[in-house]
Amino acid sequence: MSTMTYLQAITDGLRTEMRQDERVFVLGEDVGAFGGAFKATAGLYDEFGADRVQDTPIAESAIIGASVGAALAGLRPVAEMQFSDFVACGFDQLVNVAGKMHYRTGLAVPMVLRLPTGGGFAGGPFHSQNPEAWFMHAPGLKVVAPSTPADAKGLLMSALRDPNPVCFLEHKNLYRRQKGEVPEGTHLEPFEARVVRAGEELTIVAYGAMVHAALAAADTFEPGRVEVLDLRSLVPLDEEAILASVRRTSKVLIVDEANETCAAGAQVAALVADRAFSDLDGPVRRIATPDVPIPFSPTLEASVLPTPDRIAEAARELLAY
């Protein structure tokens, strides 16, 4: 085990897989000698060269389209968007080409699209989005969202070995803030949810950065009362893990940083209402970001994003129901 930041774990996962599989290569804006906008590809250009760490023009549609073609030709591209917001420029190539290719032709498209997501750093409306719901709605795409350094490496390496196109959501606020032990060498994590804190009275369902907000909220209660379930994967969604946790605790609070309409949390809420209604001892509660562009002002941004205090307040209300 080595202690790494979330960002270092992503780099380590890329490096490990590139050493083991010559088909894996990285492409994107400034991913070469510069090391990427957030330095996630730092050092890879020096080790693997320009053929496997390719700088591209500022053209997201071309980056994703080239990745689809490379994947169809037998390679395993890893495309980086500097910010997840910019993936909208390549939406057609991802949703209508990569996602549907297997359904149309039977051919696999083994590519990974790395998407730095989320707010919390005063990046404003063009650098703070959480676009996962766009891709959950699109057939053929897998969507994963790690919350810890170990999962960042393990889920990334699993994504790199998956025959499907995978949207890999990296929360920018975790890059240098989260540290933890990470297995050395090959480390694979399944696209499944995991209970990160056991409890008996209330389940908080979260993913990505919101897992840490949920844990901070859970710390305000007596040990053993609040369970925290980290989804880790949104597509496939681990429905059985969600239902099992809710049935144990009988109450559920869903936390989602994305805009609340049609967010990932809405799918979880619908699942619980449909298949665990009789097990509930209170309403299904959700906390998400209002449907507004993320403000530049740190004060205004903090007023719209879910916080541990807001989560704890909702949990107290639900526990008292």
Confirm if 136 and 235 have CB atoms less than 8 A apart.
Answer: yes
Q: Quick one: pLDDT band at residue 82, thresholds 50, 70, 90?
A: very high
Token pair belonging to 255: 């936390």
Q: Is 212 one of the catalytic residues?
A: no
What is the largest distance, in Å, between two alpha-carbon atoms of the chain? 60
* pLDDT recorded at residue 277: 96
Computed from CA positions of residues 53, 157, 121, 181, in that sequence, does the dihedral angle turn out positive or negative? Answer: negative
Q: What are the tens digits of pLDDT across the range 198-256?
A: 999 999 999 999 999 999 999 999 999 999 999 999 999 999 999 999 999 999 999 99
Task: Classify residue 136 by its DSSP letter.
Answer: H
| φ/ψ of residue 234, rounded to 5 | -100, -35
Q: What are the tens digits of pLDDT across the range 26-39?
A: 999 999 999 999 99
Confirm if 285 and 252 have CB atoms less than 8 A apart.
Answer: yes
Token pair belonging to 156: 């990334």
- Using CB atoms within 10 A of its CB, is residue 179 exposed (0-12), middle (13-18) or buried (19+)? middle
Q: Is the pLDDT of residue 122 over 90?
A: no
* pLDDT recorded at residue 262: 92
Using only the alpha carbons of the chain, give its radius of gyration.
19
Q: What are the tens digits of pLDDT across the range 149-188?
A: 999 999 999 999 999 999 999 999 999 999 999 999 999 9
pTM: 0.96
Helix (H) / strand (E) containing 138: none
Confirm if 306 and 135 have CB atoms less than 8 A apart.
Answer: no
Q: Is the pLDDT of residue 305 over 90?
A: yes
User: How crowded is the C-beta side of 34, counted as CA atoms within 13 Å?
Assistant: 12
* Mean pLDDT confidence for 127-152: 96
Token pair belonging to 252: 């559920």
Task: Map out the domains of the chain with their CATH numbers.
Answer: 2-182 (3.40.50.970), 194-319 (3.40.50.920)
The active-site residue, picked from 127, 171, 187, 212, is: 127
